[in-house]
């Protein structure tokens, strides 16, 4: 279904530019980041290699790119030496530019990143004792405007491309030094599969919980996650990836079928009145419709539960009655569910406050006593505005009118 159906949702809605899988570059070279093997092969053929050569080189380059994290063709040692300059003249392997990297006192790291065409977005790494979670963005800004979310106060600038999405994971591996180190020319007998597993790694999990609504950028998110999950690519298990949606019901089935990752749903309220207010997409896809789609989510089971995210807003959605209603709804749809209670993270001008710790505890107990796990998420990286819902980049600084003026000026200059 076309995303233009979104137009009836109140709030700022911006046009979504057509997705491009190759970022245009001023020097005429093509960026291979984010391309699957067959697209790389096509490009090699178009650049003059015969089909057999193109297929072989694409396989090699793909491996270096996604499995090894190599960005310089000169380092691709199993490719003929004479071939390497040919590649360098025509292609590049990019990464998002790092504008700023920040460290929180709790070990959380946040990177401010920039696309080749100058849009800023954010990525967060959250280390824990037994895992390390990378929180990545799918869009610059968001078309939706959940009232408690800082990103929701930005307009959508554009969808991120597959290269910009997978590029976040690759940049994190660069910065954590976590690419497999062994040789790949068959001479290194000592290289074992252990080097490719996540054991002992810092970055073990990925959550699509940064800026943007991933299911409104479905194709690019799917294509990026395929590279992340491919055993010959980044080789991260789909069980370690979680996609969070505010409830784009028509895309949930395809998410399960075509991506197959764990699902998290931003429920946040149990009545139409409150959810309409705080998660406005509810006016389009209501609670019951959403929960029915969750019940039908491909791959959900007691072993792979759906996470229901619930932000704790003082006096808004945090009563005992709300907790009981949450339990009733989850039972009604027989959902393999766990509830994640998120203390509201404040941002300047936010219209809500966080529920008290006692209130959150009580809410958690009610859900827990009904046999549903309901842990309270510890806020991470609040001191660097890296916690849930605090991400927002300077793209907001231009108003819509300013951007229209800029665009008009560009047209005048071009003319
Ligand atoms: N757009 C997707 C994923 C990004 S947000 C979605 O909405 O699901 C990741 C989670 O953080 C969502 O559950 C979101 O509702 C929640 N969140 C947003 N703003 C928040 C805030 N200020 N405090 C706590 N959680 C917040
Ligand atoms: Fe967008 Fe998610 Fe924020 Fe809602 S909570 S505005 S869907 S990023």
What are the tens digits of pLDDT across the range 260-287?
999 999 999 999 999 999 999 999 999 9
Does residue 195 have a pLDDT over 70? no
Average pLDDT in the 23-37 region? 86
Least confident of 60-64, 79-83, 290-294, 399-403: 399-403
The fold for domain 30-92 equals DNA polymerase; domain 1 (1.10.150)
Going from the Cα of 267 to the center of ligand 2, the distance in angstroms, rounded, reads 12
In a mutational test of the pocket of ligand 2, which residue from 124, 152, 277, 344 has the highest number of ligand atoms less than 8 Å from its CB?
A: 152
Report pLDDT digits (tens) over 207-216.
999 999 999 9
Helix (H, G, I), strand (E, B) or coil at 131: coil
Rounded CA gap, 255 and 263, in Å? 9
Residue count of the chain: 415
Domain assignments of the chain as residue spans, ordered by start: 30-92, 97-184+193-414
Rounded CA gap, 409 and 403, in Å? 10
**Does residue 355's CB lie within 6 angstroms of at least one atom of ligand 1?**
no
Does residue 227 have a pLDDT over 80? yes
Does residue 187 have a pLDDT over 50? no
In a mutational test of the pocket of ligand 2, which residue from 159, 266, 285 has the highest number of ligand atoms less than 8 Å from its CB?
A: 266
pLDDT score of 73:
97
- Element at 227 (helix H, strand E): helix 218-229
Whose CA is closest to 369, among 393, 339, 347?
Answer: 339
Does residue 14 have a pLDDT over 80? no
87 near 192, Cβ under 8 Å? no
Q: Record the pTM.
A: 0.87
Buried b (16+ CB within 10 A) or exposed e, 289-306: ebbebbbebebbeeeebb
**Does residue 144's CB lie within 6 angstroms of at least one atom of ligand 2?**
yes
Q: Active-site residue 122, yes or no?
A: yes
Structure tokens at 31: 């960026």
245 near 215, Cβ under 8 Å? yes
Other beta carbons within 10 angstroms of residue 369's beta carbon come to 11
Report pLDDT digits (tens) over 369-386.
999 999 999 888 888 888
Report pLDDT digits (tens) over 105-121.
999 999 999 998 899 99
**Does residue 265's CB lie within 6 angstroms of at least one atom of ligand 2?**
no
Whose CA is closest to 251, among 214, 300, 220, 207?
Answer: 214
Which pLDDT band, with edges at 50, 70 and 90, does 182 fall under? low
313 near 350, Cβ under 8 Å? no
Above pLDDT 90, what percent of the chain?
A: 72
Going from the Cα of 306 to the center of ligand 2, the distance in angstroms, rounded, reads 18
Maximum Cα–Cα distance across the chain: 71
Higher-confidence residue of 13 and 75: namely 75
Please pick, among 75, 89, 122, 213, the residue that the annotation labels catalytic.
122
Which ligand 2 atom minimizes the distance to the CA of 279?
A: 4
Average pLDDT in the 392-407 region? 51
Tell me which range, 9-13, 28-32, 216-220, is most confidently predicted by mean pLDDT: 216-220
Which pLDDT band, with edges at 50, 70 and 90, does 255 fall under? very high
Task: Tell me the pairing of strands 132-135 and 120-127.
Answer: antiparallel
Average pLDDT in the 153-166 region? 92
Please pick, among 146, 288, 388, 413, the residue that the annotation labels catalytic.
388
Domains 30-92 and 97-184+193-414 share a fold: no
Does residue 15 have a pLDDT over 50? no
- Outline where DSSP puts E strands in 174-323: 205-208, 241-245, 262-266, 306-312
Helix (H, G, I), strand (E, B) or coil at 323: helix
Does residue 167 have a pLDDT over 50? yes
Report pLDDT digits (tens) over 330-364.
999 999 999 999 999 988 889 999 999 999 999 99
Does residue 16 have a pLDDT over 80? no
- Element at 254 (helix H, strand E): helix 249-254
349 near 149, Cβ under 8 Å? no
Query: Is the sign of the CA dihedral 217, 221, 222, 224 positive or negative?
Result: positive
- CATH architecture assigned to 97-184+193-414: Alpha-Beta Barrel (3.20)
Please give the backbone phi and psi of residue 2, each rounded to the nearest 5 degrees, phi first.
Answer: -70, 140
79 near 63, Cβ under 8 Å? no
Which pLDDT band, with edges at 50, 70 and 90, does 199 fall under? low
pLDDT score of 280:
96
Rounded CA gap, 122 and 388, in Å? 12
322 near 270, Cβ under 8 Å? yes
């Amino acid at each position: 279904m076309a995303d233009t159906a979104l137009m009836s949702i109140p709030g700022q809605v911006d046009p979504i530019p057509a997705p491009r899988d190759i970022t245009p570059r001023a020097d005429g070279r093509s960026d291979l980041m984010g391309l699957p093997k067959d697209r790389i092969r096509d490009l090699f053929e178009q650049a003059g290699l015969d089909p057999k050569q193109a297929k072989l080189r694409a396989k090699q380059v793909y491996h270096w790119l996604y499995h090894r994290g190599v960005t310089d063709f000169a380092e691709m040692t199993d490719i003929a030496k004479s071939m390497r300059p040919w590649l360098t003249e025509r292609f590049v392997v990019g990464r998002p530019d790092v504008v700023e990297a920040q460290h929180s006192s709790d070990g959380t790291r946040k990177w401010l990143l920039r696309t080749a065409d100058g849009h800023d977005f954010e990525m967060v790494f959250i280390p824990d004792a037994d895992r390390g979670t990378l929180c990545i963005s799918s869009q610059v800004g968001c078309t939706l405007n959940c009232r408690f979310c800082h990103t929701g106060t930005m307009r959508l600038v554009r969808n991120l491309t597959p290269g910009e999405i997978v590029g976040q994971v690759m940049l994190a591996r660069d910065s954590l030094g976590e690419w497999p180190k062994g040789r790949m020319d068959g001479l290194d007998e000592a290289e074992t599969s252990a080097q490719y597993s996540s054991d002992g790694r810092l970055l073990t999990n990925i959550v699509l919980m940064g800026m943007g609504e991933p299911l409104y950028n479905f194709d690019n998110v799917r294509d990026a996650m395929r590279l992340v999950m491919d055993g010959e690519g980044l080789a991260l298990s789909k069980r370690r990836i979680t996609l969070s949606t505010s409830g784009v019901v028509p895309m949930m089935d395809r998410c399960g079928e075509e991506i197959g990752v764990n699902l998290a749903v931003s429920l946040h309220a149990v009545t139409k009145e409150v959810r309409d207010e705080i998660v406005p997409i509810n006016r389009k896809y209501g609670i019951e419709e959403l929960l029915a789609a969750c019940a039908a989510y491909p791959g959900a089971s007691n072993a792979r539960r759906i996470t229901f995210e619930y932000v704790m807003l003082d006096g808004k959605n945090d009563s005992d009655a709300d907790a009981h209603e949450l339990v009733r709804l989850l039972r009604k749809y027989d959902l393999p569910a766990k509830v994640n209670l998120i203390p509201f993270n404040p941002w300047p001008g936010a219209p809500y406050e966080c529920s008290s710790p006692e209130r959150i505890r009580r809410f958690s107990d009610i859900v827990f006593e009904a046999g549903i796990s309901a842990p309270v998420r510890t806020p991470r990286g609040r001191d660097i505005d890296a916690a849930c819902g605090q991400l927002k980049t300077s793209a907001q600084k231009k108003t819509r009118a300013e951007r229209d003026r800029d665009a008009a000026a560009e047209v005048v200059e071009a003319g």
